[in-house]
Amino acid sequence: MGIFDKDVHIHIHVHSNEEIILKKLNQIIMEQSELAAQLTALQTQTEKAKAEILAKIADLEGALDAADDVTPEVQAAFDALKASVQGVDDIVADAPTT
């Protein structure tokens, strides 16, 4: 076996490793693209749920304000619900407004 044959073998080996690395990089890029799409969908779903929950709380608050005979237990349950929702909202700080 001559030197030329050995060099060719090494070149093919390096080329093969480059292909493997490129395939892995493409896989990582695709996985990140899929992850970005999933995160965007989850954020959209979360915003929808937040709007629905806040609307229901506003409806309940309006109904309680309009009622003449709200028991302390009902008021306490409503206040606990609002505090719970606020706690969930506080998990992630709101984006600063400019």
Instruction: Categorize the per-residue pLDDT at 5 as very low, low, confident or very high, splitting at 50, 70 and 90.
Output: low
Instruction: Please tell me the distance from the alpha carbon of residue 84 to that of residue 76, in angstroms, as a whole number.
Output: 12
| DSSP category for residue 98 | -
CA dihedral 37, 98, 93, 52 (to 10 degrees): -70
| Length of the chain measured in residues | 98
Question: Is the pTM above the cut of 0.85?
Answer: no
* Cα separation, 81 vs 61, whole angstroms: 11
Domain ranges for the chain, please list them.
Answer: 3-89
CB neighbour class for 18 (10 Å; exposed up to 12, middle 13-18, buried from 19): exposed
Give the residue from 51, 59, 54, 48 showing the smallest Cα distance to 82: 54
Q: What is the pLDDT of residues 37-96, one digit of tens each?
A: 999 999 999 889 989 999 999 999 999 999 989 999 999 999 999 999 999 888 877 777
